[in-house]
């Protein structure tokens, strides 16, 4: 393929501006042009992130305090899942560990052996889970010997405009206008796009960040869509911001399972974002809207907004001279806040190829596509895990989720866990073994037999080890600042 001297980014949402900022920061001597349409606007949701965003911020040189001030941001230690296994139960998936995973010191194994009555709650063994429960926060580098990761919540519209300011300052050209037609090259690629006011914009490489429209990859090149909705049937969401509640800014996202889907709660500095992700096969839009309004922390600040989508992704992400990133490439569903992570993953791969001395050849493109296909599949499996282990039978959605035919890759992982307590890890994972363990534990899903190697520790030794870790975590967390206080200090820098 040719040199990509002139790169056109179609779309100015999170995907478009993340891409443009990375391109103008990381590559020299290219022209980067972003086309966006105020009239069409951005999707305006996508306010909870994954720890990888810290790496993006580091690579493009974003200062944390500046970023949090500009985006109304707060810290996120993970997600609290309410009512997923049974109504009335809850568990956390935070970005921290549960000690050793294997051998006689396998913490989950010893915990299982002793049981909750002796060993206490399993979540008490995970530092960021206890921090979340206690509403406390502190950056991991300030706590010695306690590795964990964190992410952020932010206002999606403010985030896109923040990235835009940075990208334009560093040399990205911004064109306001609506694309009404696309001109093709003889080889099938895209030559240029035509705007409603008559302008024509040429490029060597087009990054399709046009959101659910998938203007270039989907509509123009007609790349087929791989539909996941038989596994992930949610296809609508009501979103609504509201006044914050009196109980402070919690350092985690909440996901509450409901009759036909689940509701999110994302606390920002001045408001709380709420949404209800649901499947129209199982609940009507009106009933889903009513259920969302019952979940709100406080007075709504706007009318609920309805979004429609299909879970899945384009078969390939890079075709001819078009690369899709963001919603134009695909969407799983927001349960584990992985969309921005997937943008970042695609963007990282793209940057490596563009920065390399060698031209991008067909093998590199195939590798790019294969890697992202696998990553979508791994994350899809992890999200399905939250649903398929449910013990709920109170509505049709949960009955179907409990009985669904799983993707082979997930069925095999569940088999390995049930039969031998092995947490399999593949390439291109989004989530590591600890994250899988957090969901298995939260859903009370354990191997059928105990590993005999656990007997190498006496029950007393096991009990002592678990008590020591639990107490050390509790002592540490008691000294940490409340999330709002820590955030306030950072914002004042």
Say which DSSP state 422 is in: -
Catalytic residue of the set 76, 85, 113, 483: 76
From 292-300, 324-332, 344-352, 379-387, span contacting ligand FAD (CB under 6 A): 324-332
How many CB atoms sit inside 10 A of residue 215's CB? 24
Q: Which of 4, 8, 32, 47 binds ligand FAD (CB under 6 A)?
A: 47
Question: Under the criterion CB under 6 A, does residue 307 sit at the interface with ligand FAD?
Answer: yes
Question: Under the criterion CB under 6 A, does residue 208 sit at the interface with ligand FAD?
Answer: no
From 11-19, 163-171, 374-382, 400-408, span contacting ligand FAD (CB under 6 A): 11-19
Give strand pairing partners of 173.
33
From 93-101, 335-343, 395-403, 447-455, span contacting ligand FAD (CB under 6 A): 335-343
Q: Which of 32, 45, 127, 379 binds ligand FAD (CB under 6 A)?
A: 45
Nearer to ligand FAD, 91 or 309 (CB): 309
Question: Under the criterion CB under 6 A, does residue 8 sit at the interface with ligand FAD?
Answer: no
Residue of closest CB approach to ligand FAD: 13
Question: Under the criterion CB under 6 A, does residue 36 sit at the interface with ligand FAD?
Answer: yes
- C-alpha–C-alpha distance, residues 176 and 37, integer Å: 6
Nearer to ligand FAD, 333 or 451 (CB): 333
Question: Under the criterion CB under 6 A, does residue 179 sit at the interface with ligand FAD?
Answer: yes
Question: Under the criterion CB under 6 A, does residue 42 sit at the interface with ligand FAD?
Answer: yes
Residue 358 makes CB contacts below 8 A (sequence gap 6+) with none
- Please say if 76 is a catalytic residue: yes
Per CB under 6 A, contacts with ligand FAD among 262-281 are 275, 277
- C-alpha–C-alpha distance, residues 98 and 123, integer Å: 8
Nearer to ligand FAD, 19 or 321 (CB): 19
How many CB atoms sit inside 10 A of residue 365's CB? 18
CB 78 → ligand FAD: shortest distance, Å?
A: 13
Say which DSSP state 241 is in: E
- C-alpha–C-alpha distance, residues 261 and 387, integer Å: 10
Question: Under the criterion CB under 6 A, does residue 309 sit at the interface with ligand FAD?
Answer: yes
Q: Are 137 and 251 in contact (CB under 8 A)?
A: yes
Burial-class residue 181 by CB neighbours within 10 Å (0-12, 13-18, 19+).
exposed
Question: Under the criterion CB under 6 A, does residue 48 sit at the interface with ligand FAD?
Answer: yes
Question: Under the criterion CB under 6 A, does residue 487 sit at the interface with ligand FAD?
Answer: no
Q: Per-residue DSSP letters for 64-115?
A: HHHHHHHHT-EEE-EEEEESSSSTT-EEEEESB--S--SSTT-HHHHHHHH-
- C-alpha–C-alpha distance, residues 337 and 81, integer Å: 13
Question: Under the criterion CB under 6 A, does residue 172 sit at the interface with ligand FAD?
Answer: no
Question: Under the criterion CB under 6 A, does residue 156 sit at the interface with ligand FAD?
Answer: yes
- C-alpha–C-alpha distance, residues 380 and 338, integer Å: 10
Q: Which of 5, 41, 302, 356 binds ligand FAD (CB under 6 A)?
A: 41
What is the three-class DSSP state of 452? Answer: helix
Per CB under 6 A, contacts with ligand FAD among 13-32 are 13-16
Q: Are 240 and 275 in contact (CB under 8 A)?
A: yes
Residue 304 makes CB contacts below 8 A (sequence gap 6+) with 238, 239, 240, 289, 292, 293
**118 to each of 127, 444, 466, how far by Cα in Å?**
19, 17, 10
Nearer to ligand FAD, 123 or 304 (CB): 304
CB 354 → ligand FAD: shortest distance, Å?
A: 20
Question: Under the criterion CB under 6 A, does residue 46 sit at the interface with ligand FAD?
Answer: yes
Residue 76 makes CB contacts below 8 A (sequence gap 6+) with 48, 49, 150, 151, 152, 153, 251, 252, 253
CB 262 → ligand FAD: shortest distance, Å?
A: 11
Question: Under the criterion CB under 6 A, does residue 389 sit at the interface with ligand FAD?
Answer: no
Structure tokens at 318: 């890079």
Question: Under the criterion CB under 6 A, does residue 40 sit at the interface with ligand FAD?
Answer: yes
Nearer to ligand FAD, 213 or 287 (CB): 213
Question: Under the criterion CB under 6 A, does residue 123 sit at the interface with ligand FAD?
Answer: no
Question: Under the criterion CB under 6 A, does residue 203 sit at the interface with ligand FAD?
Answer: no
Q: Are 291 and 310 in contact (CB under 8 A)?
A: no
CB 104 → ligand FAD: shortest distance, Å?
A: 39
Structure tokens at 427: 């390439």
CB 245 → ligand FAD: shortest distance, Å?
A: 19
From 209-217, 282-290, 400-408, 429-437, span contacting ligand FAD (CB under 6 A): 209-217
Q: Which residues here bind ligand FAD, judged by CB under 6 A?
A: 11-16, 35-37, 40-43, 45-49, 156, 178-179, 209-211, 213, 215, 237, 239, 275, 277, 307, 309, 326-328, 334, 337, 339-340
Active-site positions read 76
């Amino acid at each position: 393929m040719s040199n990509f001297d002139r790169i056109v980014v179609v779309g100015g949402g999170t995907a478009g501006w993340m891409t443009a900022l990375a391109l103008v920061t990381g590559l020299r001597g290219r022209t980067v042009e972003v086309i966006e349409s105020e009239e069409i606007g951005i999707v305006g949701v996508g306010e909870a992130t994954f720890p990888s965003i810290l790496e993006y911020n580091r690579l493009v040189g974003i200062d944390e305090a500046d970023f949090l001030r500009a985006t109304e941001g707060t810290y996120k230690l993970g997600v609290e899942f309410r009512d997923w296994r049974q109504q009335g139960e809850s568990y956390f998936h935070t970005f921290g560990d549960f000690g050793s995973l294997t051998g006689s010191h396998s913490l989950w194994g010893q915990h299982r052996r002793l049981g909750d009555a002796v060993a206490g709650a399993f979540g008490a063994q995970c530092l960021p889970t206890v921090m979340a429960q206690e509403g406390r926060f502190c950056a991991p580098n300030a706590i010695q010997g306690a590795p964990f990761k964190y992410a952020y919540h932010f206002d999606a519209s403010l985030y896109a405009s923040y990235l835009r300011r940075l990208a334009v300052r560093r040399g990205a050209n911004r064109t306001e206008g609506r694309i009404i037609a696309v001109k093709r090259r003889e080889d099938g690629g895209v030559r240029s796009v035509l705007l409603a006011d008559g302008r024509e914009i040429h490029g060597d490489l087009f990054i399709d960040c046009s959101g659910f429209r998938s203007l270039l990859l989907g509509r123009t090149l007609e790349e087929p869509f791989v539909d996941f909705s038989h596994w992930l049937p949610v296809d609508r969401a009501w979103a609504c911001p509201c006044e914050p509640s009196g109980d402070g800014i919690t350092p985690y996202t909440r996901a509450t399972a409901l009759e036909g889907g689940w509701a999110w709660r994302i606390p920002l500095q001045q408001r709380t974002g709420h949404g209800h992700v649901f499947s129209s096969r199982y609940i009507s839009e009106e009933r889903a809207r009513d259920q969302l309004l019952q979940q709100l922390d406080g007075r709504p600040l706007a009318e609920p907004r309805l979004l429609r989508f299909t879970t899945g992704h384009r078969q390939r992400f890079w075709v001819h001279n078009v690369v899709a990133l963001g919603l134009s490439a695909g969407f799983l569903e927001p349960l584990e806040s992985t969309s921005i992570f997937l943008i970042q993953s695609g963007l990282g791969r793209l940057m490596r190829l563009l920065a390399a001395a060698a031209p991008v050849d067909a093998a590199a493109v195939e590798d790019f596509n294969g890697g992202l296909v696998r990553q979508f599949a791994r994350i899809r499996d992890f999200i399905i895990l939250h649903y398929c282990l449910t013990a709920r039978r109170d509505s049709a959605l949960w009955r179907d989720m409990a009985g669904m035919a799983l993707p082979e890759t997930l069925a095999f992982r569940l088999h390995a866990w049930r039969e031998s307590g092995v947490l399999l890890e593949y390439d291109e994972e989004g989530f590591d073994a600890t994250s899988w363990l957090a969901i298995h534990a939260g859903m009370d899903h354990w191997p059928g037999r105990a590993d005999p190697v656990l007997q190498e520790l006496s029950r007393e030794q096991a009990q002592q080890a678990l008590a020591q870790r639990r107490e050390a975590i509790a002592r540490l967390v008691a000294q940490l600042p409340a999330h709002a206080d820590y955030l306030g200090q950072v914002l004042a820098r």
